[in-house]
Amino acid sequence: MSSPPGIDTPAASGSPATVPDAAALAAELAAAGRLAPDWADAWARVDRAAFVPDRVRVPAPDGYHRLDRADDPARWHALVHTDTALITQVEDGTHAPEFSLRPTSSASMPRMVAAMLAHLDVREGHRVLEIGTGVGITAALLATRLGDDAVVSIELDPRVAADARGALHRAGHHPHLLIGDGTCGSVEHAPYDRVLSTFSVHTIPPAWVAQSRPGGRIVTPWGSALYNGVLLALDIDTDTTGPRACGRVVGDAAFMWERGQGVRGGVMDTVRDQDPGTPGTTTLDARLLVDDRDATFCTGLFAPGVRRSIGRPPDATREGGGEFTLWLVDAQSRSWACVDHTPGGTVFESAVHGPRPILAEVEAALAWWGAHGRPERTRFGLTATASGQTAWLDDPSNPLPATHSDMCP
Ligand SMILES: C[S@@+](CC[C@H](N)C(=O)[O-])C[C@H]1O[C@@H](n2cnc3c(N)ncnc32)[C@H](O)[C@@H]1O
C-alpha cells in the first residue's frame, strides 16, 4: 500500500526540501525495532500531522516549550513526524500559571503507542475499546487496521473529543466516538476483544473487565503515586465468581493519569515549614527511592498514595551522590516523613508527621523487596475482578501482603 506524500517546504536555499512524513515516522520506529510488522502499513498511512493541533508543547528537560506551527512550520512538521510526545492540553484546558503545568491531553509518544498496540495483539474481526481518544491518532491506527465499525473510542473532555472527531473525519476515519468517562466503558458496544487505555490508572476499572470477552485482553498504563508507571497486559478469563483480568508488567509506560485518579498540587504543599515533625532515626536507604526503579515501583505498591520529593543542598549537583533529603508525603491524610541521607551512612536522621505511618510503610516495603531478592518490576503482575485488584510476584498464587489502602479504604 502506498504511503502519503511527503510535505514540501521551502529550504533555506530556496529549493524544495522534503520534511519527514508518516512513512518517515514508521521507518524510524521500524529501524529502532519498535514497530511490529503487522502495524507497519497502518503507521505509514496515518499521518500524525492530520491530528496534532497547530499549537503544542514539547517536553524539554526544564519543562514544556511552546511550539506554534505558524512560527516555525518546518520544526512543527519535523517534531510531529518523529518519535516525540506532544502535549496538546494542560490543566484540563483552563488557564494556569506557566510554572505549574500539568499535561491533560497529548499525542502520545509514537514508540509507546506502537508498544501498546503490539501488546494488544489485535486480529481481524476484533472489536476494540480505546479509552482516552486524545487527538485521535490511536483510534485512526486501529480503524485503519480493523475497520471503523470495530473501534470504539471514549474521551472525557468534550473539546478534546470534538477536535479528535473533526480530525478523524477529515482523514476519512469514522470509528464510534463517545464523550464520557472511559472508566465506565461502553455497555452499548460491548463485549470487546481488546481494551486499550492511553492514560494511567491506579486501579483497573471493573467495567473494563466486565465488558471484555473471555479470551480478551486489557492493555493499560498502571502506576502508583511513587512510580508512574508500567504497562500491564491482562488476559481475561472467567472463574466461578465472574470475569477476571490477570497478567504481567510488560514494560514501562509514563502516561498522564486518568483525570479522576491523578493527584493535584505540589508534593511539598502538605509539608508546612513551621511544623518540624517528630524526630527519629531510620536505616532506610533513601537512595533506593531516587536511583532504583524496581525498588521504587515495589514501594509504590506497598505505600499507595505516597509521593516523594528530593531536596538537595543549593550547591549539590543531581548526579553528585551527595547529601539530600527524601520527603515522602500523603496529601489525603496530611502525613509526611523525611530522611536526611548522607553518603556512606547506615543510620539516618528522620522526622515524621501526621496519622499515617508512612516511614514504617516504606521501610517495610523495602525490607520485603530486599528479602525477595530485589525483584525487577517485570516480575510483578495483577489480578483484577469486579470486587478489586491484587498485585502479585511471579505468579497470581503469590499475592503481595495487604497494604495501607487495603486496610483503610
Ligand atoms: C495521553 S492522552 C491520549 C492520547 C491518544 N490516545 C493518542 O492517540 O495519542 C490521554 C487522554 O485521556 C483522556 N482521559 C483522561 N481521563 C479520562 C477518562 N476518565 N475517560 C476518558 N478519557 C479520559 C484525556 O482527556 C486525554 O485526552
The CATH code of the domain at 110-252 is 3.40.50.150
CATH top-level class of 267-371: alpha beta
Rounded to the nearest 10 degrees, the angle between the axes of helix 110-120 and helix 22-31 is 70
- pLDDT recorded at residue 4: 31
- pLDDT recorded at residue 14: 40
Span of 87-101, 119-133, 167-181, 321-335 with lowest mean pLDDT = 87-101
Of the chain, the percentage scoring pLDDT greater than 90 comes to 78
Cβ–ligand 1 contact at 102 (below 6 Å): no
Q: pLDDT (tens digit, 9 = 90+) per residue, 173-187?
A: 999 999 999 999 999
Average pLDDT of 132-152?
98
- pLDDT recorded at residue 97: 56
Cβ–ligand 1 contact at 186 (below 6 Å): no
Alpha carbon of 105 to ligand 1 centroid (Å) = 6
Cβ–ligand 1 contact at 216 (below 6 Å): no
Contact 292, 372 (CB under 8 A): no
Does the pLDDT value for residue 334 go beyond 80?
Answer: yes
Rounded to the nearest 10 degrees, the angle between the axes of helix 110-120 and helix 137-146 is 40
Cβ–ligand 1 contact at 160 (below 6 Å): yes
Selected residue with higher pLDDT from 12 and 243? 243
Cβ–ligand 1 contact at 185 (below 6 Å): no
- pLDDT recorded at residue 326: 95
With b for 16 or more beta-carbon neighbours within 10 A and e for fewer, the 49-68 pattern comes to bbbbeeebbbeeeeebeebe
Does the pLDDT value for residue 406 go beyond 60?
Answer: no
List active site positions: 108
Does the pLDDT value for residue 106 go beyond 60?
Answer: yes
Does the pLDDT value for residue 200 go beyond 80?
Answer: yes
List the beta bridge partners of residue 57: 66, 87
Alpha carbon of 39 to ligand 1 centroid (Å) = 22
Alpha carbon of 155 to ligand 1 centroid (Å) = 6
Cβ–ligand 1 contact at 86 (below 6 Å): no
Alpha carbon of 107 to ligand 1 centroid (Å) = 9
Cα separation of 403 and 228, whole Å?
Answer: 18
Cα separation of 259 and 134, whole Å?
Answer: 12
Strands 388-393 and 380-385: antiparallel
Contact 282, 347 (CB under 8 A): yes
Q: Which of 87, 155, 208 is the pocket-test mutation for ligand 1 (most atoms within 8 Å of CB)? A: 155
Cβ–ligand 1 contact at 258 (below 6 Å): yes
Closest CA to ligand 1's atom 14: 132
Residue 316: pLDDT band with limits 50, 70, 90 = low
Residue 57: pLDDT band with limits 50, 70, 90 = very high
Cβ–ligand 1 contact at 221 (below 6 Å): no
Q: Which of 198, 201, 219, 231 is the pocket-test mutation for ligand 1 (most atoms within 8 Å of CB)? A: 198
Span of 23-32, 234-243, 390-399 with lowest mean pLDDT = 234-243
Contact 334, 354 (CB under 8 A): yes
Residue 403: pLDDT band with limits 50, 70, 90 = low
Average pLDDT of 130-157?
98
pLDDT, mean over the chain: 90
SS (H, E, C) 222-243: ECCCCCCCEEEEEEEEEECCEE
Alpha carbon of 28 to ligand 1 centroid (Å) = 25
- pLDDT recorded at residue 361: 97
Selected residue with higher pLDDT from 239 and 149? 149
Closest CA to ligand 1's atom 19: 181
Does the pLDDT value for residue 377 go beyond 90?
Answer: yes
Start-to-end C-alpha separation, the chain? 53
Select the highest-mean-pLDDT range: 93-102, 237-246, 260-269.
237-246
- pLDDT recorded at residue 72: 95
- pLDDT recorded at residue 268: 82
- pLDDT recorded at residue 51: 98
Extract the runs of DSSP E, i.e. beta strands, from 173-262. Answer: 176-179, 192-197, 212-222, 230-239, 242-252
Residue 12: pLDDT band with limits 50, 70, 90 = very low
Cβ–ligand 1 contact at 298 (below 6 Å): no
Does the pLDDT value for residue 10 go beyond 60?
Answer: no
Cα separation of 57 and 271, whole Å?
Answer: 31
Extents of the domains making up the chain: 7-107, 110-252, 267-371
Does the pLDDT value for residue 17 go beyond 70?
Answer: no
Average pLDDT of 341-351?
95
Decide if 110-252 and 267-371 have a common fold.
no
Does the pLDDT value for residue 288 go beyond 90?
Answer: yes
Alpha carbon of 391 to ligand 1 centroid (Å) = 25
Q: Which of 91, 109, 117, 133 is the pocket-test mutation for ligand 1 (most atoms within 8 Å of CB)? A: 133
- pLDDT recorded at residue 100: 57
Cell triple for 56: 503544542
